[in-house]
Structure 1
Amino acid sequence: MAYEDLIRETALADDRLIVMTAENRALIRNLPAVLGPRFIDTGITEQTLIGAAAGLALRGRIPVVHALATFLTLRAFEFIRTDVGIGQLPVKISSFVPGFLSDGNGPTHQAIEDVALMRGIPGMTVFAPADEADMLGMLPQIWASPSPAYVRINTRPGTYQHAPFEMGKAEVVATGTDATILVYGMLFEQALIARELLEAQGKSVGLVNMRTLKPVDEAALLQVVRAGGLVVTLEDHFQTGGLYSILAEVLLKNELTAKVLPIALNEKWYKPGLLSEVLEYEGFTGQHIARRIAEKLGADPAAITTKTEVVENQFAE
């Protein structure tokens, strides 16, 4: 099943669901013929899209809106905050090509502050699936929730068999005593590779797929910190306001500290390129991640052997 299949089945089973877009039909191009007037394209008008969605939500509908992540969270931020957030309306925001998935576009199309912006809105829930299967397992619960929701859409295929999704709960893939990688979104794939490389060097490495960034699984974070070892936050987002900041907030709230290695974009835009090129150039491949962790642990990063990492451009059409 693909994203379009899931939303079609859900909409056909529940006539409250309205599919909306701001002229971004990549995920939903076959739905107008199926849904008729319950498919609305406002054109390249993200602010109008959110305003109209809020109006429909006030009338008992469940709008699922689609547009590029950067334009939804930046151009339409006031409308999300004011029309959706203040009213606590069940508008579901499907943000296309967030973070490194903007693939080939420049800084104007890079949504790398979206998590910080969306989690700052009271009542907004924020989700970042690891891959397509993870996302499809999340969406039915997200769409059924009465809360507004922001979802970093991720249609990349994955091979990991995920545990069933539970709202507000992280997925603990593995526990470790030397280090634990906390990750969300498409970098989960690279975290798996990094963990394998480090384990091959005799390191005990845990891995947690955060899934829900708001509400965050505080218990999972505290368990990792209290277990000891290096805590690694890995994200295709600015270091400020994302997972690194979330962890810091949880630690301060609980009067704890930890040895933390943030792997994120720190006060910089990333250089445009195809996804594989971006990961290599910016140091976010599994091998780069493993070497940075090894160095922080006092081991020889050069001992991390090369592993083939295939990252294709899924959006070329």
Structure 2
Amino acid sequence: MTYQELLTQTALDNEQVIVMTAENRALVRNLPGILGKRFIDTGITEQTMIGAAAGLALRNRIPVVHALAAFLTMRAFEFVRTDLGIADLPVKLSGFIPGLLSDANGPTHQAIEDIAIMRGIPNLTVFAPADEDDLVKMLPQIWESQSPAYTRINTRKTAYVHTPFEMGKAEVIAEGTDVTILTYGLLFEQALVAVDMLKAEGLSVGLINMRSLKPVDEEAILKAAASSKMLVTLEDHFQTGGLYTIVAEVLLKNQRTAKVMPIALDEKWFRPALLPAVLEHEGLTGKQIAERILGQRTNQQQPEILISEFSE
């Protein structure tokens, strides 16, 4: 099932669902003719769209709104914070081409700080599916929730079949004692490749699809930290505020120490190109990820998140 098919069926089954877009119909091309007045295109007006969605939510509707992730999270930030987060209204935000999925676009269209921005908003939940199979397994629960939600939309088709989704729970693919890779979204594909290569080098490697970033699965993070010699956070997002920061917060909150290697975009936007070239240039192919992890294991100056364990 595709995103559009799932949304169509959901809207037909529930007349409270309203589909909205800020002139970004890539994900919902067929819906205007099917939903009629329940499809609303506000034009290139993300702020207006969020305000209108809040009004509809106050009238017991469930708006599912669409825009490019960069503009949905940044141009409309104050409206998302004030109208949806503070008011705790069940508007569902679908962010198109987030992270490296915006491959050929320049910095203005790159949403690589969206996780950091959105997870700081009160009541707003944040999700990042690994691919289309993961997406369609996650969205029914996200749409049924009474909380406002931001989802990094990822409609890439892969051969991987994901387990059923549970709100706030990570998908543990494998457990490992040497290294555990924690990731989400697009880079899950590359992580699978990296895991196979690392295993071929004789390492015991774990892999976790974090998929739900707020609420986050603290238990999965802590278990991996306890069982693996090193954690690797892998994300197509700035290092600050994303998964690396989330892991640090969880470890500190629980007074735990772990060796953590971040692989992320470090305070720079990525160079636009077709996706394979972007991955290669940024060092984010499966092969490059495996090589970086192997190199880090042999380097005595490994970066660590060191949080002292306090005694009673």
* Bin of the TM-score, shorter chain as denominator length: over 0.9
Name the SS of the counterpart of 2:263 in structure 1. strand
Name the SS of the counterpart of 2:298 in structure 1. coil
- Deviation readout 1:4-33 (Å, 9 max, x if unpaired): 111010000000000000000001011000
2:270 equivalent in structure 1 = 270
Q: Does the 8 A contact of 2:131 with 2:157 survive in 1?
A: yes
Q: Distance in 2 between matches of 1:101 and 1:160?
A: 18
Give the alignment of 1:135-214 within 5 angstroms: 135-214=135-214
2:124 equivalent in structure 1 = 124
1:288 equivalent in structure 2 = 288
- Deviation readout 1:92-114 (Å, 9 max, x if unpaired): 00000000000200000000000
Q: Distance in 1 between matches of 2:185 and 2:228?
A: 25
1:81 aligns with 2:81: yes
Q: Distance in 2 between matches of 1:92 and 1:171?
A: 22
Identical pairs, percent: 70
Counterpart of 1:67, as a letter, is A
Q: Does the 8 A contact of 2:47 with 2:75 survive in 1?
A: yes
2:309 equivalent in structure 1 = none
Shift of 1:223: 0.2
Shift of 1:159: 1.1
Counterpart of 1:247, as a letter, is V
Counterpart of 1:221, as a letter, is I
Shift of 1:161: 1.5
Q: Does the 8 A contact of 2:138 with 2:165 survive in 1?
A: yes
> Structure 2 length as normaliser, TM-score?
0.95
Q: Distance in 1 between matches of 2:158 and 2:241?
A: 27
Shift of 1:269: 1.1
Unaligned runs of 5+ in 2: 300-312
Shift of 1:228: 3.0
What is the CA RMSD across the aligned residues, in angstroms? 0.7
Q: Distance in 2 between matches of 1:46 and 1:75?
A: 7
Shift of 1:267: 1.2
Name the SS of the counterpart of 1:297 in structure 2. helix
Q: Does the 8 A contact of 2:180 with 2:228 survive in 1?
A: no
> Structure 1 length as normaliser, TM-score?
0.94
1:104 aligns with 2:104: yes
Counterpart of 2:143, as a letter, is W
Counterpart of 2:188, as a letter, is F
Q: Does the 8 A contact of 2:176 with 2:228 survive in 1?
A: no
Give the alignment of 1:216-235 within 5 angstroms: 216-235=216-235
Q: Distance in 2 between matches of 1:155 and 1:161?
A: 14
Q: Distance in 2 between matches of 1:66 and 1:290?
A: 35
1:133 equivalent in structure 2 = 133
Q: Distance in 1 between matches of 2:40 and 2:28?
A: 11
Unaligned runs of 5+ in 1: 300-317
1:215 aligns with 2:215: yes
Name the SS of the counterpart of 1:263 in structure 2. strand
Counterpart of 1:6, as a letter, is L
Higher alpha-carbon deviation: 180-189 or 222-231: 222-231
Q: Distance in 2 between matches of 1:44 and 1:267?
A: 28
Name the SS of the counterpart of 2:118 in structure 1. helix
Shift of 1:76: 0.2
Name the SS of the counterpart of 2:165 in structure 1. coil
Q: Distance in 2 between matches of 1:14 and 1:113?
A: 33
Counterpart of 2:42, as a letter, is T
1:53 equivalent in structure 2 = 53
Counterpart of 2:85, as a letter, is G
Name the SS of the counterpart of 1:20 in structure 2. strand
Counterpart of 1:150, as a letter, is Y
2:239 equivalent in structure 1 = 239
Shift of 1:268: 1.0
Q: Distance in 2 between matches of 1:118 and 1:179?
A: 29
Shift of 1:158: 1.2
Runs of 4+ in 1 over 2 A off after TM superposition: none
Q: Distance in 2 between matches of 1:17 and 1:31?
A: 12
